[in-house]
Structure 1
Amino acid sequence: MTENIVLSIMKDAIQTAILVSAPILLVATLVGLIISIFQATTQIQEQTLTFVPKLLAAALIGLLMGSWMLHILVDFTTRIFELIANMGG
Protein backbone atom coordinates (compact mmCIF):
# COMPACT_ATOMS: atom_id res chain seq x y z
CA MET A 1 0.00 0.00 0.00
CA THR A 2 1.55 3.23 -1.11
CA GLU A 3 1.37 6.58 0.57
CA ASN A 4 -0.86 7.93 -2.20
CA ILE A 5 -3.46 5.21 -1.62
CA VAL A 6 -3.53 5.90 2.12
CA LEU A 7 -3.91 9.64 1.56
CA SER A 8 -6.66 9.01 -0.97
CA ILE A 9 -8.56 6.82 1.49
CA MET A 10 -8.16 9.40 4.26
CA LYS A 11 -9.36 12.20 1.96
CA ASP A 12 -12.37 10.14 0.87
CA ALA A 13 -13.21 9.26 4.49
CA ILE A 14 -13.05 12.88 5.64
CA GLN A 15 -15.14 14.08 2.68
CA THR A 16 -17.73 11.39 3.35
CA ALA A 17 -17.90 12.26 7.05
CA ILE A 18 -18.38 15.96 6.28
CA LEU A 19 -20.97 15.23 3.61
CA VAL A 20 -23.00 12.95 5.88
CA SER A 21 -22.87 15.16 8.97
CA ALA A 22 -23.39 18.52 7.22
CA PRO A 23 -27.21 18.53 6.95
CA ILE A 24 -27.80 17.84 10.64
CA LEU A 25 -25.06 20.22 11.79
CA LEU A 26 -26.22 23.05 9.54
CA VAL A 27 -29.86 22.75 10.61
CA ALA A 28 -28.95 22.51 14.31
CA THR A 29 -26.70 25.57 13.97
CA LEU A 30 -29.38 27.54 12.14
CA VAL A 31 -32.04 26.62 14.72
CA GLY A 32 -29.64 27.51 17.54
CA LEU A 33 -28.95 30.89 15.97
CA ILE A 34 -32.65 31.64 15.59
CA ILE A 35 -33.33 30.60 19.20
CA SER A 36 -30.39 32.72 20.43
CA ILE A 37 -31.71 35.77 18.62
CA PHE A 38 -35.15 35.13 20.10
CA GLN A 39 -33.66 34.78 23.59
CA ALA A 40 -31.62 37.95 23.19
CA THR A 41 -34.63 39.98 22.12
CA THR A 42 -36.99 38.65 24.79
CA GLN A 43 -34.35 38.14 27.52
CA ILE A 44 -35.67 34.64 28.25
CA GLN A 45 -32.70 32.55 29.41
CA GLU A 46 -34.21 29.07 29.62
CA GLN A 47 -31.77 26.26 28.75
CA THR A 48 -34.42 23.84 27.52
CA LEU A 49 -35.57 26.46 25.02
CA THR A 50 -32.32 25.95 23.11
CA PHE A 51 -31.97 22.20 23.54
CA VAL A 52 -35.41 20.87 22.60
CA PRO A 53 -35.86 22.67 19.24
CA LYS A 54 -32.34 21.71 18.12
CA LEU A 55 -32.98 18.10 19.10
CA LEU A 56 -36.29 18.03 17.23
CA ALA A 57 -34.80 19.70 14.13
CA ALA A 58 -31.87 17.27 14.07
CA ALA A 59 -34.24 14.31 14.45
CA LEU A 60 -36.45 15.61 11.64
CA ILE A 61 -33.50 16.08 9.30
CA GLY A 62 -32.24 12.63 10.26
CA LEU A 63 -35.59 11.15 9.28
CA LEU A 64 -35.87 13.12 6.05
CA MET A 65 -32.29 12.65 4.87
CA GLY A 66 -31.44 9.36 6.53
CA SER A 67 -31.77 7.28 3.37
CA TRP A 68 -29.50 9.67 1.47
CA MET A 69 -26.92 9.54 4.29
CA LEU A 70 -27.09 5.74 4.32
CA HIS A 71 -26.61 5.66 0.54
CA ILE A 72 -23.47 7.83 0.84
CA LEU A 73 -22.06 5.59 3.59
CA VAL A 74 -22.82 2.39 1.66
CA ASP A 75 -21.07 3.82 -1.42
CA PHE A 76 -18.01 4.65 0.69
CA THR A 77 -17.98 1.19 2.26
CA THR A 78 -18.29 -0.44 -1.15
CA ARG A 79 -15.32 1.58 -2.45
CA ILE A 80 -13.23 0.55 0.55
CA PHE A 81 -14.12 -3.15 0.15
CA GLU A 82 -13.33 -3.01 -3.58
CA LEU A 83 -9.97 -1.43 -2.79
CA ILE A 84 -9.22 -4.18 -0.26
CA ALA A 85 -10.21 -6.87 -2.74
CA ASN A 86 -8.01 -5.36 -5.47
CA MET A 87 -5.02 -5.19 -3.14
CA GLY A 88 -5.20 -8.92 -2.39
CA GLY A 89 -4.51 -10.02 -5.86
Structure 2
Amino acid sequence: MNGADVIDLAQESIWVLIKVAGPIMMIALIVGLFISLFQALTQIQEMTLTFVPKIIAIFLSLFFFLPFMGETLGTFMQHIAERIIGLV
Protein backbone atom coordinates (compact mmCIF):
# COMPACT_ATOMS: atom_id res chain seq x y z
CA MET A 1 0.00 0.00 0.00
CA ASN A 2 1.54 3.26 -1.08
CA GLY A 3 0.78 6.87 -0.20
CA ALA A 4 -1.84 7.31 -2.91
CA ASP A 5 -3.79 4.30 -1.61
CA VAL A 6 -3.75 5.70 1.90
CA ILE A 7 -5.03 9.07 0.68
CA ASP A 8 -7.77 7.38 -1.38
CA LEU A 9 -8.81 5.31 1.63
CA ALA A 10 -8.85 8.37 3.90
CA GLN A 11 -10.91 10.32 1.36
CA GLU A 12 -13.38 7.48 1.00
CA SER A 13 -13.62 7.20 4.80
CA ILE A 14 -14.43 10.89 5.11
CA TRP A 15 -17.16 10.62 2.45
CA VAL A 16 -18.69 7.62 4.23
CA LEU A 17 -18.64 9.59 7.48
CA ILE A 18 -20.41 12.52 5.81
CA LYS A 19 -22.99 10.22 4.18
CA VAL A 20 -23.74 8.42 7.45
CA ALA A 21 -23.75 11.36 9.87
CA GLY A 22 -24.91 14.11 7.50
CA PRO A 23 -28.67 13.45 7.42
CA ILE A 24 -28.95 13.16 11.21
CA MET A 25 -26.90 16.31 11.74
CA MET A 26 -28.96 18.26 9.20
CA ILE A 27 -32.20 17.25 10.90
CA ALA A 28 -30.80 18.29 14.29
CA LEU A 29 -29.70 21.61 12.78
CA ILE A 30 -33.10 22.30 11.20
CA VAL A 31 -35.02 21.37 14.36
CA GLY A 32 -32.65 23.49 16.46
CA LEU A 33 -33.14 26.42 14.11
CA PHE A 34 -36.92 26.19 14.36
CA ILE A 35 -36.79 25.88 18.15
CA SER A 36 -34.48 28.90 18.38
CA LEU A 37 -36.78 30.89 16.13
CA PHE A 38 -39.77 29.87 18.24
CA GLN A 39 -37.94 30.89 21.42
CA ALA A 40 -36.95 34.23 19.94
CA LEU A 41 -40.48 34.98 18.78
CA THR A 42 -42.22 33.98 21.99
CA GLN A 43 -39.41 34.95 24.42
CA ILE A 44 -39.68 31.59 26.15
CA GLN A 45 -36.22 30.69 27.44
CA GLU A 46 -36.86 27.21 28.79
CA MET A 47 -33.75 24.99 28.59
CA THR A 48 -35.65 21.74 28.12
CA LEU A 49 -37.47 23.21 25.13
CA THR A 50 -34.25 23.08 23.14
CA PHE A 51 -33.24 19.52 24.01
CA VAL A 52 -36.43 17.46 24.01
CA PRO A 53 -37.59 18.18 20.43
CA LYS A 54 -34.07 17.66 19.08
CA ILE A 55 -33.70 14.35 20.87
CA ILE A 56 -37.06 13.15 19.59
CA ALA A 57 -36.24 14.27 16.03
CA ILE A 58 -32.85 12.57 16.14
CA PHE A 59 -34.31 9.28 17.39
CA LEU A 60 -37.03 9.33 14.74
CA SER A 61 -34.53 10.14 12.01
CA LEU A 62 -32.25 7.34 13.25
CA PHE A 63 -35.10 4.84 12.81
CA PHE A 64 -35.73 6.23 9.33
CA PHE A 65 -32.08 6.39 8.17
CA LEU A 66 -30.76 3.27 9.93
CA PRO A 67 -31.11 0.96 6.89
CA PHE A 68 -29.24 3.46 4.69
CA MET A 69 -26.55 3.91 7.31
CA GLY A 70 -26.11 0.16 7.74
CA GLU A 71 -25.91 -0.42 4.00
CA THR A 72 -23.35 2.35 3.57
CA LEU A 73 -21.17 1.09 6.41
CA GLY A 74 -21.51 -2.53 5.23
CA THR A 75 -20.43 -1.64 1.72
CA PHE A 76 -17.49 0.33 3.06
CA MET A 77 -16.46 -2.56 5.31
CA GLN A 78 -16.62 -4.98 2.38
CA HIS A 79 -14.40 -2.65 0.40
CA ILE A 80 -11.92 -2.44 3.28
CA ALA A 81 -11.94 -6.24 3.73
CA GLU A 82 -11.29 -6.73 0.00
CA ARG A 83 -8.34 -4.34 0.23
CA ILE A 84 -6.99 -6.20 3.25
CA ILE A 85 -7.03 -9.60 1.55
CA GLY A 86 -5.72 -8.09 -1.65
CA LEU A 87 -8.59 -8.50 -4.10
CA VAL A 88 -8.55 -4.84 -5.14
Q: Distance in 1 between matches of 2:51 and 2:21?
A: 19
The aligned amino acid for 1:61 is S
The aligned amino acid for 1:17 is L
Structure 2: stretches of 5+ with no match in the other structure? none
Identity between Structure 1 and Structure 2 (%): 41
**Please, what TM-score do these two structures have when normalized by structure 2?**
0.96
The aligned amino acid for 1:63 is F
Tell me the equivalent position of 2:21.
21
Tell me the equivalent position of 1:52.
52
**Please, what TM-score do these two structures have when normalized by structure 1?**
0.95
Q: Distance in 2 between matches of 1:14 and 1:34?
A: 29
Cα offset, 1:30, TM superposition: 0.1
Structure 1: stretches of 5+ with no match in the other structure? none
- C-alpha RMSD of matched pairs (Å): 0.9
- How many equivalent residue pairs? 87
